[in-house]
Every structure is written in structure tokens, then in C-alpha cells.
């Protein structure tokens, strides 16, 4: 997976006019944009979005994957971990759509159940990244001075670690051989390493939009009217700086699904008996000549999920960027 810190597909949309504060909060969440107002950037963006087939396709896919992650039993009645060696490596059939793996486990069921670990890890990591990066960026941008300098240097240090390399170091240290972490501890470690290595990007994004908004006349006016720091941040800064963050977050979900799979594939991420797409692909890689279907079905799900989030993020970003219209 590409380095999720490569921010190049995310440019910072310009900050919005004060009249659109209320709406801007929903920028990254088109589902919430139903209360559309036929004016301003937000209304335009939503109107633009509604006409994009890519937006609808990716939204539907995401919905399916989320339901799959939450209620896997809706899609399959088979047990993903029930192995039966007598049916090892059976080809796909009407009975088991994706065939059986070397342990005789139902690949379709495993792929369905794999959605949960992949999506939960990605979502939690994104939430963590946005919270930490956003808070740091807000503090650095709002306080400025030595606080900004210090936080920015700390971010530089973490930014200096290439993603996969950094994650390998963290995970081999805490999740290496001999460690007896529970499934949730391992998930926690993967989430932690994704967050630790990705927050600097969000911080920079947040910091620059805070810096750009901070000096806006209406904020200066609010301060002159005696609004407190907390109020200015919550009521004025946050809503304006949230849109680029949420767009980036959406794309990041896709990147993180891929990143988790990459780490599991390398053997440093999640491990059996946890079921995730990365693990299924990792287990299948040595059988690629014998049973390629073991690899392709989970890979197809993985790709579809990553693409859906990335495309949704792209669609929202384009809709929010007036320069592209």
C-alpha cells in the first residue's frame, strides 16, 4: 500500500465563508448533507456530488461492506474457522462459492468475516489519527510560538519514519515471536502503529487550515467581542477546519484497509485465528500456482473496499474544490 502519509491526493480546500459554518461540519459526510441549502459552497458541492455516479457507486459499496463487517452472518451461514481437511483446496462450487483453503475452511465465509477485522482496524485507526493529529494541529496552529515549534519538530520526527518500515519496527518489537498477545491486543498494536505513523499528516493539514482561518476577520471580531478560547475553537475554528480533515479521513480509511492488509501480509500485523483479508491473502500466497482463487476472491474484496473509500473521498474533495468546476 502506498504511504498513507503521502498527502498528494488531498489538497486543502479553501476555508469557507462564515455564513457556511453550520454546513461545513458535514462536508465530509454527504449522508448528512440532506439538510442541503441551495446556496454557497456546500450546496454546490452536494449538487455536484449527487450527479456523480462514482459517488453513488462507492457509497453503496461502503454501505455493503459496513453491513458485512457488522453482521457477517447475514451473508453466510458457514463458520469461517471450521476446518475440515477432507475438503482441503476444493475448487469453488455452488456449495462453497470461493472454494476451500488448505485447512478446508470455507473461503467465502472467511472473506465475509474478514471484513470485520479489516474495517474495524481501519476505522479505529482513522478516528485515532484524526483525533490526535487534529488536536495537535489545533494546538500548534492556535497557540503558535514555541508550542507550535515544539509540536512541529515532534511531528517531523514521526514523519521521518517511512510508513511500512516504521510499522515493521513497532510491530516486530511488540508483536514479534514469543509475544502472547490476545487478538484484541494485536489489533490494538496495529491500530497504534498506524496512528503513531500517520498523525503528523493530519496535524499539518489541521495546523495550516487553523492558521489560515485564525486571522479571518470574523474570528478577530469574535475575540474582540470577548469570546473565550474554548468558544472560538469550538464554534468558529473547528467547523471551518473540519472539511479538509474529513475528506482526508475518508481516503485514509481506504489507505488503512490496504495498510493493515500489507502488514498482515508481511506477517507483522494481525495473525490467525483472527480473520482479515490480509491474513487470508498471506496464507494463500504460497498456493498461488495451485489454487489462485484462494488469493483472488479476498484480494477482490480488499480492492473493492479500498477503492470505495478512496473514490468517495476523491469525489467529495472534487466537489468541495471550486477550482475544479
Partner 1 sequence: MGRYLLRRLLQLVPVFIGTTFLIYWLVWAVPGDPFAGKCGERPCPPGFVAMMTEKFQLDQPLYVQYATYMKNLFQGDFGTTFGGRSINDIIATAYPNTLKLAVVALAIEALIGLTAGVVTGLRRNGFLDNLVLISTLFLIALPIFVIGFVLQWVLGVQLSIIEPTVSSEMRFPELIVPGFVLGSISMAYIARVARTSISENRRSDYVRTAIAKGLPMRRVVGVHLLRNSLIPVVTLLGTDLGALMGGAIVTEGIFQINGIGRIVYRSIVTKESATVVSIVVILVLVYLLMNLLVDLLYAALDPRIRYE
Q: Which residues bind partner 1 (CB under 8 A)?
A: 1-3, 5-9, 153-154, 156-166, 168-170, 172-174, 176-179, 254, 258-259, 261-262, 265-268, 281, 285, 288-289, 292, 295, 299, 302-303, 306-307, 310-311, 314
Q: For residues 25 and 172, which CB has a smaller minimum distance to partner 1 in the complex? A: 172
CB 278, CB 269: distance < 8 Å: yes
In the complex, the smallest distance separating the C-beta of residue 39 from partner 1, rounded to whole angstroms, is: 27
- The CA–CA distances, whole Å, from 187 to 85, 194, 275 equal 28, 11, 11
Separation of alpha carbons 127 and 197, rounded Å:
14
Task: Indicate the residue among 100 and 277 with the shorter CB distance to partner 1.
Answer: 277
Q: Is 5 or 240 the residue whose CB approaches partner 1 more closely?
A: 5
107, 279 in Cβ contact below 8 A? no
Cβ closest to partner 1, residue 158 vs residue 218: 158
Of 89 and 168, CB closest to partner 1: 168
> Which residue lies nearer to partner 1 by CB, 67 or 288?
288
Nearest-approach distance from CB 218 to partner 1, in angstroms? 29
C-beta of 42 vs 194, nearer to partner 1: 194
For partner 1, give the closer residue by CB, 66 or 266: 266
Q: How far apart are CA 209 and CA 193, in angstroms?
A: 26
Minimum distance from CB of 159 to partner 1 (Å)? 8
1, 67, 178 from 282: Cα distances, Å: 15, 25, 20
**Burial bucket for residue 7 (CB in 10 Å: 0-12, 13-18, 19+):** middle
Amino acid at each position: 500500500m502506498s504511504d498513507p502519509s503521502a498527502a498528494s491526493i488531498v489538497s486543502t480546500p479553501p476555508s469557507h465563508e462564515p455564513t457556511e459554518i453550520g454546513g461545513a461540519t458535514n462536508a465530509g459526510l454527504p449522508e448528512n448533507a440532506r439538510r442541503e441549502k441551495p446556496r454557497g459552497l456546500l450546496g454546490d458541492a452536494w449538487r455536484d456530488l449527487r450527479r456523480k455516479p462514482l459517488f453513488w457507486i462507492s457509497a453503496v459499496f461502503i454501505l455493503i461492506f459496513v453491513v458485512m463487517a457488522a453482521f457477517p452472518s447475514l451473508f453466510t451461514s458457514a463458520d469461517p474457522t471450521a476446518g475440515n481437511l477432507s475438503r482441503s483446496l476444493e475448487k469453488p462450487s455452488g456449495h462453497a462459492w470461493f472454494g476451500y483453503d488448505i485447512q478446508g475452511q470455507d473461503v467465502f465465509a472467511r472473506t465475509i468475516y474478514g471484513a470485520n477485522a479489516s474495517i474495524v482496524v481501519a476505522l479505529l485507526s482513522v478516528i485515532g489519527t484524526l483525533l490526535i493529529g487534529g488536536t495537535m494541529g489545533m494546538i500548534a496552529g492556535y497557540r503558535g510560538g514555541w508550542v507550535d515549534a515544539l509540536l512541529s519538530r515532534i511531528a517531523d520526527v514521526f514523519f521521518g519514519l517511512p510508513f511500512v518500515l516504521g510499522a515493521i519496527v513497532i510491530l516486530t518489537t511488540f508483536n514479534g515471536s514469543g509475544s502472547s498477545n490476545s487478538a484484541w491486543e494485536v489489533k490494538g498494536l496495529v491500530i497504534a502503529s498506524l496512528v503513531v505513523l500517520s498523525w503528523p499528516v493530519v496535524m499539518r493539514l489541521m495546523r495550516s487550515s487553523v492558521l489560515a482561518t485564525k486571522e479571518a476577520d470574523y474570528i478577530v471580531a469574535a475575540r474582540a467581542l470577548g469570546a473565550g478560547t474554548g468558544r472560538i475553537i469550538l464554534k468558529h475554528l473547528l467547523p471551518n477546519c473540519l472539511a479538509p480533515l474529513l475528506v482526508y479521513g475518508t481516503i485514509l480509511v481506504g489507505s488503512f484497509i490496504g495498510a493493515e492488509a500489507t502488514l498482515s501480509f508481511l506477517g507483522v500485523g494481525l495473525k490467525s485465528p483472527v480473520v482479515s483479508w490480509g491474513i487470508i491473502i498471506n496464507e494463500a500466497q504460497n498456493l498461488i500456482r495451485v489454487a489462485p482463487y484462494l488469493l483472488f476472491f479476498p484480494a477482490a474484496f480488499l480492492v473493492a473496499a479500498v477503492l470505495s473509500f478512496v473514490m468517495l473521498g476523491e469525489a467529495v474533495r472534487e466537489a468541495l474544490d471550486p477550482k475544479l468546476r
